[in-house]
Structure formats: C-alpha cells, structure tokens
Structure 1
Amino acid sequence: MSLPVQRPRPIPTENSSRFVTNAFWLSADCVVEIGAVLIDRRSECVLLVHDDARKQYILPRVTRKDFDVLLQAPFQAVGAKVGIPCTALALPRIEKKTLVPPDGNWYNATAMEIYSRTQTTTNPFHLSIGTLWTTDKTGKWPDGYQLITYWYGGEITALPEQRSAPSQQPGVRLATFDEALEMLKGKDDPAWSALSQFAVIWTNAKKLASGSTDLV
C-alpha cells in the first residue's frame, strides 16, 4: 500500500495572500457583502463615503441578508446606498500562469497575472475575507461573523459638481488614488488592498486600450 503524495501548497500571485487550503462555515456564521471602487472618468478620482461609526472615509459597501439578490444587481444596491448613479465597469480579464523554473523544482515556482487583450469582465476583481464584529441581541456581548467581501469595479454615471467638495457634501467625496490609499492605509486593510489592486488593473486597462504592451 503506497502512501498518498502530499501536494505542495498552491502558489498565489504577488497580489494575493496565502491560500486558505481548508475552511468551512455554516451560513449562519457568515456575512456576505459587496464593496465597490467607483471611478469618475472625468477626474480619474474614486468615490469615498463617510462611515460615521468609524469616523473615516471608506469605499462603498453594502450588506444584505438575501445576498444572492445583492450579487445579481450589485450596482443597483451600491447606487441606492451612496445616492449616486453608477454602473459596472468592464475590466480586462485576468488569468493566472504558474512558472516552474528549469530545474523543475515546484517549490521555487512563481505565479504571474496574464491580462487578456481581447476579453473583459464585470465579475468581482478582488475578494477579501475577514471578521465582522457585532454585539449579540442583548447588546452586552461581542459576536463575530466570517465576513466575505466581493469587490467590484464601477463607474460613476452622474455626479453633481458639488459632490466633489467635501465641505459641501460631507457624506461622500472624490479622491485621487494616492489620496484614497493614504486615507485607508492602516485603517481598512481589505479596502486598501482592493483599491491598490484596482489602481493597477485600471492603469493596465488604459494601456491595453492604447495598444501598449508595457503593463505594470
């Protein structure tokens, strides 16, 4: 009787954390939400919304108990929450390619992202898993859930001019990528990671559209 061969740990691309090889949760233990990076093409800025509980600006997020409905119409839900019309943004389809070195040593293999030059997708471009802390029904004790966030890329379709001025519209504001990343850094790791990845994808999408092969 031969022993089963232990498979090596799968290799993620440089923009992902290590894989979770075994995990399982009852639906009652989970909360599914969607997050969105909404870009304004005119200004090349992204939309941030103010979270009163955190007392900071964050990327838009929506959570519902009927998350299947939420995933079917994510931008309808996001638009309703932020009060700004938005739609899905078609981004280049990205696939993974694992590169094994000439010596055939899998443990030295790396994984890279391959951007399609002809195919786009409106599927989530990023996924994050974390913990959502709440309180129980008595309000006395902490309670936690496995939080699964699907991150979508979207485009603002109508933005009143005054919306861009935080002093006039404190609930939402536009920020450059660098400004938004600085505001999220160390305060909202999942959103920071999603926005960092979106910035790269958006830059490469524009390069591909112009015919450039020099991707970042």
Structure 2
Amino acid sequence: MKRRFQTVAVALAFGFALSGCGNDSGQSSGSASAGTTKSTESTKGSNMNMQEAAERSDGMLDDVLKAIDPEVQWAHGPTTTGSCDVTRRRTVMTIVSAERRQSFLDQVEKFWRESDYRIKAKNKDEEFPAIYAQSEAGFGISVSFRGGGQAFFEADSPCVKESKVAGSASKPNGPAYEGVYPLPRPNVRSDYWSAGAS
C-alpha cells in the first residue's frame, strides 16, 4: 500500500510540474506551435484582442528590423487571421547574398536573445536557413530565407479575443507595393548585404 501511494504521489508531482512548465514558458508560435498550446495562451492573452495582438506583433517586427545594421529595405507581407490568432509578415526587399546570410541571421538572433526571446528552433540549411523564437508573452517570431534568397519575417500571436484587425500602421522604408501579391524578389542593392551577389 505504501509503495502504491508513493507511485501515485510521484505521478501527481510530475503532472503538476509539467502543467507549471506549460504556463511559464507560454508555448505558442504560429508555424511551430502544437494545437494544444493555443489553449494555454488563451488564458494568458485573455485581456488582449486580435487588433491589440497585431499591434504587438508590429512592434516586435519593427524592433528587429531596426536592429539590423546596415539597414535593410522591407515591405509588408499579408496579414492572416485564425479563429483566435493573427500573423503579421514583413518581406525584405534588400538583396542578401549567400555570403552575408549568416551575418544577417546572427544579428537577428543576437537581438532576440538580448530581448529575452527564447530561441525555439533553427534550420541550418545552407540555402533556406531560418530561426524561430518566442517572446515571454507567447508571441512567436521567425526569420527565414526562401526562394531567390529573400528574407521573410513573421510574428504570430497566441490565442486572444476575436476582433477585427486593421492594416499595420508601420510605414515601410521603401515602396509599399499596395495591392501587389506576391511581392517582387529582392531588388535593392546594399554595399554590405549584397556583397558577392550577382
């Protein structure tokens, strides 16, 4: 009987520890999240609606793009919404050569770590590398290189209250490409970032 009681006590302690971890770490991020994590975040983000979450995501994207030195030109990508979450996107229009790609990612990762984001995963593929991070509030943010060596940023909210979502108030530092989708391949040359690109 004593042994059985100890087994039950250990199982309960383990269960409580796991549930505590889930609440503290706020596991959620758009493309890298599991379905169960949205419900965890619904309690954390219960005072925020989708518009407020979109504004928070804009701030996160503004901050990381301002941290890149020298500056890169960017344009808005499409905003998408789910049943209780929102994703904001930015597309880098500056040509980042294969030789400079790692330097670009290093700057982004350094900024996120200094901003107390948790690095959740890295794709170290030579052609299509990516970094996935998460804020303390459960917002996911990522940078990835895709076709044509173009860099894309995405910020995903946790589950929040449903609301209408307006377009971003952040102004691109180049052409807005309003109504253009998909956006052009990177077409802005930089003495630093484009070095070695044909």
TM bucket (normalised to shorter chain) is: under 0.3
Which structure has the highest strand share of the two? 1
TM-score by length of 2: 0.27
